[in-house]
Structure 1
Amino acid sequence: MKTIGMLGGMSWESTASYYKALNEGVKKSLGGLHSAKICMYSVDFDEIEKLQHQGNWSGAANILSKAAKSVEAGGADFLLICTNTMHKVAQEISSQISIPILHIADATAEKLLEDNINCVGLLGTKFTMEQDFYKGRLSENHNIQVLVPDADERKIVHNVIYSELCLGKVFESSRNEYLKIIDNLYAKGAQAIILGCTEIALLVQQQHTSVPLYDTTEIHAAEAVKHALS
């Protein structure tokens, strides 16, 4: 079994979901008392969040690259960046380590294409929804059309992530807002919705809507288990 490297803490709430999914995935595959071999570095998200909102991506990349080097030195065979947004600096991190990064957008795209979905709605931080590092990878590398909410809806999605979900707060009122936005994207032609922030699945699950949801945390973790056991 390969050792999975985790770059976590962004936020720790969703990193806990990753840790659980990875261990459950290995146990399901191997049975008995098996669990995942993991080397994790969990950063202080407050530092990263401030740099994100300052637009200081190079500063964030520097912190995460140092953390990734520690994960590699700890014996990891490959790396998961346990957040969608910080894949914006995946290339910078990759250039500082010799182990491969299992990209969350690629894992998600493979799952979508498996299910014959080629037009998808994307929810996430404003960085993920508005910038091209994630949407562009889906469209250019995988030929998947990506729809995003309008400006007011993007603000709601973003604020709920940082002001509530990253703090472990889950409110019914916010879930209802998200479900309205999901319905709007579906009405515009999205065949499914990517929960493109690792915290969103804490708020919205498939039981809440008939629109197909793709939880990137679950998909990324499942792909990591497959890779670890290959």
Structure 2
Amino acid sequence: MKKVAVAEMHVEDEMLTIGLLGGMSWQSTAEYYRIANEMVAQRLGGLHSARVVMASVDFAEIGVLQRAGQWDEAGRVLAEQARGLVAAGADMVLICTNTMHKVADQVAAAISVPLVHLADTTAEAVLAQGVGTVALLGTAFTMEQDFYRDRLASHGLEVLVPTEPERALVHRVIFEELCVGIIREESRQAYRDVIAGLVERGAQGVILGCTEIELLISQADSTVPVFPTTRLHIEAAVNRAMALAVA
């Protein structure tokens, strides 16, 4: 029994700690935590779980800053929270939302550990499947501003977004339904229709570029590959965290 305990402690010591900067919304942050622990348990077995520290902000306050265009202030808030994660022992930090990667550089500059960028991990997964043209679904901020699209394009991807009425629909469903835990079949069908239109325009894959969309849409809802950013993001972090533990 002593040998087992020593072996388990050794693995734990070698596993890095993941810092989750979440609460935007808590619905998707809960998925980050669940997936991280499931992945570690699957790989190590027994009672193993992920080493995680989390900061969960009040999304209502961040949402006010988003709508007012006060991105510098939002970045200051997230940077402060990220520093707290590092102080708590995080070896890396993940911003658990696509939209708030608009302030990723501000957060990264405030911490002494790596920021695992969601768009980078997503782009790597897209390219690994040989996809060059992708549709991007997300909040209006993510679909219409260039911070996220340009990051994907920097990897050589062509990015398509829905039409203006479709963008409004996608955005509304995220904030009025998914962020508060409402899943409606009518909204699922509406998203399917948006995806089908993007495929007709040449999309070879679909990036679910809002962490809540994975609560509504899966591969079964698309004729082309779907890239779930929440799962891809936390999987990249778990891979990094476990590099020593599974060596």
The question of a shared fold, defined as TM-score above 0.5 by the shorter chain, is answered with yes
Q: Is structure 2 residue 19 aligned with structure 1 residue 5? A: yes
- Whole-angstrom distance in 2 between the partners of 1:119 and 1:29: 33
- Whole-angstrom distance in 2 between the partners of 1:95 and 1:112: 27
Report the counterpart of residue 148 of structure 1 in structure 2.
161
Q: What RMSD in Å do the two structures reach over aligned CA positions?
A: 0.7
Q: Is structure 2 residue 7 aligned with structure 1 residue 17? A: no
Q: Is structure 2 residue 32 aligned with structure 1 residue 30? A: no
Report the counterpart of residue 132 of structure 1 in structure 2.
146
Q: TM-score, normalised on structure 1?
A: 0.98
Unpaired segments of 5 or more residues in structure 1?
Answer: none
Q: What percent of counterpart residues are identical?
A: 53
- Whole-angstrom distance in 1 between the partners of 2:224 and 2:129: 14
- Whole-angstrom distance in 2 between the partners of 1:102 and 1:150: 30
Report the counterpart of residue 45 of structure 1 in structure 2.
59
Structure 1 runs of 4+ with >3 Å offset = none
Q: TM-score, normalised on structure 2?
A: 0.91
- Whole-angstrom distance in 1 between the partners of 2:173 and 2:64: 17
Partner residue of 1:215 out of 223, 228, 246: 228
Q: Is structure 2 residue 171 aligned with structure 1 residue 158? A: yes
Deviations 1:45-91 (A, max 9, x none): 00001110111101111111111011000000000100000000000
Report the counterpart of residue 83 of structure 1 in structure 2.
97
Report the counterpart of residue 122 of structure 2 in structure 1.
108
Unpaired segments of 5 or more residues in structure 2?
Answer: 1-14
Q: Is structure 2 residue 204 aligned with structure 1 residue 186? A: no
- Whole-angstrom distance in 2 between the partners of 1:209 and 1:124: 16
- Whole-angstrom distance in 2 between the partners of 1:207 and 1:136: 28
- Whole-angstrom distance in 2 between the partners of 1:118 and 1:212: 12
Partner residue of 1:195 out of 203, 208, 233: 208
- Whole-angstrom distance in 2 between the partners of 1:222 and 1:96: 24
For these two proteins, the number of residue pairs brought into alignment is 229
Q: CA deviation at 1:32?
A: 1.4
Q: CA deviation at 1:135?
A: 0.6
Report the counterpart of residue 72 of structure 1 in structure 2.
86
Provide the secondary structure at the position in 1 that maps to 2:110. Answer: coil
Provide the secondary structure at the position in 2 that maps to 1:86. Answer: helix
Larger Rg: 2
- Whole-angstrom distance in 2 between the partners of 1:155 and 1:45: 20
Counterpart amino acid of 1:95? A
Deviations 1:11-67 (A, max 9, x none): 000000000010011111111111000010000000001110111101111111111
Deviations 1:167-225 (A, max 9, x none): 10111111111100000000000001000000001111112332321100010011111
Deviations 1:135-166 (A, max 9, x none): 101112x1000000011100000111011100
